[in-house]
Chain A
Amino acid sequence: MNTEESRLGSVPAAGKKPSSVIVARDVWKSFDHGQTPVIQGVSLEIGRAEMVALWGSSGSGKSTLLHLLSGLDRPDRGEITILGLDPSREETRLRLCRRHVGFVFQLHNLIPDLTMLENLRIPCFSERRPAREIDARARYLAEKVGLSHRLTSRIQNLSGGERQRTAICRALMNRPEVIFADEPTGSLDERTADVVFNLFLRLVSEEGASVILATHDQRFTKGCHRSLHIHQGKALPL
C-alpha cells in the first residue's frame, strides 16, 4: 500500500464473491432527443458489499450512469435491476429510496433551515418507525462521524466538511444495502476531502453496504474493490 493509499484508506477485501445487488444489461442513454449519446451499451454487475468506482473526466457520463443505476433516471434502452427490483416503476423506486438505497451528492443538498438532527430524520419520514429509534440511529451515526455535539446545530452553522459528513450520515440513516455517491468530496478542499472520504469508506464498510462511487479523482478509486473507467459512454475495467 503506497503513501496515498494509506492516507485515503481502503476497505477490507470483499472475501467470497458477493451476490449481485445491481445488474445492468446493455444500458443506453442519450440527451437532446438522441442527439447526444452519453451511455452506450453498458453492462455491469455489482456485488453485495462491493465498492465500485466509476472514474472518468467531467462530462464522461459517470453521473448519468450513477443516476441510471440508482433508478433516478431511466435508460433509453437496456435493463437495470437493484436487489432484483425494477427501479423504473415509481412505486418500486420509492420503496428502494425509502429502505434500500442511500445517496451522497457533491453538494451536500441538506435543508439549511433545519438542524443536523432534523435533516437526518428526512429519509425516515415516510417509514413508520418510532421517533426514538430514528433519533438513536441519528445519534449513533453523528458520533461515528464526530458530530454528536452538532446535532442541534442548523446546517448553515456547519462547516463544509461537517455538512458533507452530515450528508453521509443521512445516506446511511435507513441502513441501506447500496450507497450511490456522486463526487461526495468534490466540493471540499483536498485535506478535508481525504478525511471525509476515509470516514465514508470506514462507515459504509462497517454497515456492509455496496457503494457505487462516481469520481473524477483517480486517488479515490484506489480505495474501492473495483474501478471502471467511463469513457465515451462505455465502462471499461481500469
Chain B
Amino acid sequence: MDFLKLIFINIRRHRLRSLITAAGIGFGAASMLCIVSIVLGAVGMFQNILSTESQFILFERNVSDLFFSSVRASQLEEIRNFPLVKRVDPLLVGIVSSPNHPIITCFGVEADNPRLRQAHWLHGSATAFGREKDAIYLGERAASFLKATIGQEIPIGSRRFLVGGVLRTANGFEDGGVFFPLSLAQEFFHKESQASLATVELRPGASFVAFQKQIDARFPDLIALEDKEFNRSYSQFRILNVTSWAIGICSFLLGGMGVANTMLMSVFARVREIAVLRVCGFSRQQVAGLILGEAAILSGLGSVVGCVAGFAALVAMNAAPQLQGYVRAALRMDLLVGVAVVTLATAIAGAFYPAYFASRIAPAEALRFE
C-alpha cells in the first residue's frame, strides 16, 4: 500500500476544494513573486543609476536617504585630485512635480557623465548636453507622459524649461526622469555648489581600502562605500526588501488560513476513516503524516501554479510601456526557492493543527457513532 496513494485519495475525492486551496496558495505565491520582483527591479535600477562605470559611491555620512545627502563641490574637487582617483561624477537627485504628474525624478549631472554617453539619443545628442541655456533632457518615458518633444517648452515645478533632447536608457527610473545640467539643477533645487552624491572610479590597481581610509581621514562627514557594500547597507534598499517580503508573507498568511480550513474540513469529513486506519495499526505520526502530506502536495501544486502565473504577470508588466524597466521579469533561483520555502512552510503551519487533531482522534470515540 502506497502512502502517497492514501494522501492523493483525499485530494482526488474533493477535487474542487483541493483546487480552490491550491489556487489560494498559488495566488499568494504569484503575489509574492510579483511584489518581490518589482521591488528588486526598482532597487536594481536605483543601484544602476548610482554605479555607472564606478566602484565607489560617496555621500554624506549618517543620512537616512540619499535625497538628503549633500556633498560640497569643494570636497569633490579635492577628491578629484587624489592620486588614486581616476574620475568623479557628481549626481544631484531631486523630485519635482508638473501638472498631472506629481512625481518626476530629476538628475543633475555634468556633461561628461558616462550615462549620457551610453544612452541612446532619440532627439538631440550627448555632445549638446548643457550647451543651451535652461535646457533639460527627458527620458523617453518622461517625454511620452509629458507629451513633450525637442524644442518645446514645458513646465517643471515652478519654472518652464526648454526640452534639449530625448534619450533612452535601459533604466526605468532614468527613462521616466529628467536630466538637468548639474549647475542648472543646483540653481533649481537651491543647492548651489552641492551634489547629493558622487560616483568614483579609481585608477587601475588603486587600493580600495586606501581610498576609503583617505576619505575617512580627510572628510569625516562623508562616507565612501563600494557598490556592493552600499547595496547591502543602504537602509532604503533594506526597508524595501523587507517590506516586499513582509507583504508577500501577509498574502501567504491568508493562503495558510485557507489551508488550515481545508485540512480541518478534510479531517472532519474522514474521522471514521482515520479511526479505522488507527485500528489497522496506523500510528499517530502516520496519521499526521497523511494530513501534512496532503497539505504539502497542495502547496507544491499551488507553488508551481503561482510561480507560472506570477512569471506570466511579470512578463506582461515588463511588456507594458508604462512599466518599462521597472520590473525584472527574470526567474531568479533564490527568489523561486524563497517562494517555494515560504509556500511549504505556510502550508505545513496551516495543516499543523488539523494534523494534530487527526492524530488525536480516539478510534473508539469515532467508531461509537455509526
* Closest partner residue, chain B, to A103 (CB atom): B279
- CB <8 Å contact, A107 and B281: no
Q: Which of A64, A72, A73 has the most chain B CB atoms inside 10 A of its CB?
A: A72
A182 contacts across to B, CB distance below 8 A = 367
Interface residues of B in 245-287 (CB under 8 A from A): 272-273, 276-284, 286
Interface residues of B in 21-72 (CB under 8 A from A): none
- CB <8 Å contact, B9 and A113: yes
A182 to B9: give the CA distance in the assembly, Å.
27
B362 contacts across to A, CB distance below 8 A = 72-73
B357-369 vs A, CB cutoff 8 Å, 1 = contact: the mask equals: 0000011110110
A98 contacts across to B, CB distance below 8 A = 281
B5 lies within 8 A of chain A by Cβ: yes
Stretch with Cβ within 8 A of B (4 or more), from A8-16, A118-126, A141-149, A202-210: A118-126
- CB <8 Å contact, A114 and B9: yes
* Closest partner residue, chain B, to A127 (CB atom): B281
* Closest partner residue, chain B, to A114 (CB atom): B9
- CB <8 Å contact, A122 and B280: yes
A182 to B367: give the CA distance in the assembly, Å.
10
A67 contacts across to B, CB distance below 8 A = 364, 367-368
How many positions in chain A have a CB within 8 Å of any CB in the partner chain? 27
Beyond A105-B367, A118-B1, A126-B286, whether A72 also contacts B280 by CB under 8 A is: no
- CB <8 Å contact, B363 and A72: yes
A92 lies within 8 A of chain B by Cβ: no
A109 to B3: give the CA distance in the assembly, Å.
19
B279 contacts across to A, CB distance below 8 A = 72, 97, 103
B230-254 vs A, CB cutoff 8 Å, 1 = contact: the mask equals: 0000000000000000000000000
* Closest partner residue, chain B, to A105 (CB atom): B367
B77 contacts across to A, CB distance below 8 A = none
What distance in Å separates the Cβ of A65 from its nearest Cβ neighbour in chain B?
11
* Closest partner residue, chain B, to A98 (CB atom): B281
What distance in Å separates the Cβ of A14 from its nearest Cβ neighbour in chain B?
27
A126 to B284: give the CA distance in the assembly, Å.
12
A122 contacts across to B, CB distance below 8 A = 1, 277, 280
- CB <8 Å contact, B283 and A118: no
User: Tally of A-B residue pairs with Cβ under 8 A?
Assistant: 63
B6 contacts across to A, CB distance below 8 A = 111
B3 contacts across to A, CB distance below 8 A = 125
Interface residues of A in 201-235 (CB under 8 A from B): none
A178 to B351: give the CA distance in the assembly, Å.
36
Interface residues of A in 66-89 (CB under 8 A from B): 67, 72-73
What distance in Å separates the Cβ of A134 from its nearest Cβ neighbour in chain B?
8
A63 lies within 8 A of chain B by Cβ: yes
- CB <8 Å contact, A113 and B276: no
A118 contacts across to B, CB distance below 8 A = 1, 5
* Closest partner residue, chain B, to A119 (CB atom): B1
B101 lies within 8 A of chain A by Cβ: no
Q: Which of B3, B5, B276, B278 has the most chain A CB atoms inside 10 A of its CB?
A: B276
B283 contacts across to A, CB distance below 8 A = 94, 126
What distance in Å separates the Cβ of B359 from its nearest Cβ neighbour in chain A?
11
- CB <8 Å contact, B9 and A123: no
- CB <8 Å contact, A72 and B1: no
Interface residues of B in 328-370 (CB under 8 A from A): 362-365, 367-368, 370
**Contact for A125 among B13, B281, B363, CB less than 8 A:** B281
B12 lies within 8 A of chain A by Cβ: yes
A13 to B264: give the CA distance in the assembly, Å.
50
What distance in Å separates the Cβ of A85 from its nearest Cβ neighbour in chain B?
14
What 7 A-B pairs come out closest when comparing CB atoms?
A98-B281, A73-B364, A121-B1, A72-B364, A67-B364, A97-B281, A123-B280
Q: Give the B-binding residues of A (Cβ under 8 A).
A: 63-64, 67, 72-73, 90, 94, 97-98, 103, 105-107, 109, 111, 113-114, 118, 121-127, 170, 182
